[in-house]
Amino acid sequence: MRTAFLGIWRTCAVTFFSLCALVENAITIPFFAPAHRLHARAGWLHRWSRFASRVVGIRITTRGAMPPSGLLVSNHLSYLDVIVLSSIRPCVFVAKRDVAGWPFFGWLARAAGTIFVDREQRLSSPAVVDLVRATLASGSVVVLFPEGTSSDGSTVLPFKSALLESAVQLRCPVASASIQYALDDGSVADEVCYWRDMTLVPHLLNLFFKREIRSSCSFSPLRVRAGNRKEIARELRDEVMSMRS
């Protein structure tokens, strides 16, 4: 009974606050100068993520410091990755355009200024590189998930080097991050990780009934990477694998 009440309360609290936050975003963001809107949207998502992580019971611990600017590449396990990283520091995320059509998270992603990329479009396209450049100039961290998809967390999938072309072109500093989750009751692979043909709403509602979700984030130092994008992709993946172990 207590668990059922907790899940219902979380569902109502997150839904109500999210609707209020979306209204706030629509009213306040247009008043910012165009050059500051990306930073304002990242700050808005940061505040929403801090609230959501507390309400949903996500306990976050970190090792190392999340970079204050530049590109951050991370392994990808779940939509919770966005909440976890954004709750630590304002971020702008690069995501597949499919995410824009998701219920709930799609609305939040669009409001937060997410950079959407078509599946068949390379991140090296001039339009996307220009968006990444503008976002970096706004002072926010740009987060990439170079695996290209989420997984069950048993390993780190190979990094798609095309997703790192913007780092090569812009010569900006890059850091890596490793995210891991733990549950006292249940399976991380089946109940936290969001992969295969899982359905979003039932998966999310199930998480609301978990007493606590523990997230551990490790960060590597921020630095300019030498080499071509394939070499950079291998180097960053090796760093993530090392932090996981």
The pLDDT of residue 62: 97
The pLDDT of residue 136: 80
Read off the pTM: 0.93
Query: Cα separation of 191 and 184, whole Å?
Result: 12
The pLDDT of residue 220: 96
Contact 65, 28 (CB under 8 A): no
Query: Cα separation of 219 and 190, whole Å?
Result: 25
Neighbours of 5 (CB within 10 A): 10
Neighbours of 177 (CB within 10 A): 27
- What are φ and ψ of residue 15, in 5° steps? -65, -50
Nearest partner of 174 among 123, 95, 237, judged by Cα: 237
Strand intervals (E) in the chain: 58-63, 70-74, 91-96, 115-117, 141-144, 174-183, 213-219
Neighbours of 40 (CB within 10 A): 20
The pLDDT of residue 125: 66
Number of structural domains, the chain?
A: 1
Which range of residues forms the domain containing residue 198? 2-244
Which tokens go with 48? 């929403």
The pLDDT of residue 139: 75
Residue 234 maps to which CATH number?
Answer: 3.40.1130
The pLDDT of residue 165: 79
The pLDDT of residue 114: 93
Contact 217, 177 (CB under 8 A): yes
Query: Cα separation of 137 and 109, whole Å?
Result: 20
Q: Which amino acid is at 227?
A: G
DSSP code of residue 69: S
Please list the residues that pair with 127 across neighbouring strands: none
The pLDDT of residue 122: 57
Sheet holding 115-117, edge to edge: 58-63, 213-219, 174-183, 70-74, 141-144, 91-96, 115-117
Nearest partner of 73 among 169, 157, 138, judged by Cα: 157
Query: Interhelix angle for 34-56 vs 80-88, to 10°?
Result: 110
The pLDDT of residue 2: 65
pLDDT per residue, tens digit, the chain (245 aa), is 667 788 899 999 999 999 999 999 999 998 888 778 888 999 999 999 999 999 999 999 999 999 998 999 999 999 999 999 999 999 999 988 888 888 888 889 999 999 988 755 555 567 777 788 878 877 789 999 999 889 999 999 999 887 787 778 888 899 999 999 999 989 999 999 999 889 988 999 999 999 999 999 999 999 988 888 899 999 999 999 999 98
The pLDDT of residue 124: 53
Query: Cα separation of 211 and 209, whole Å?
Result: 6
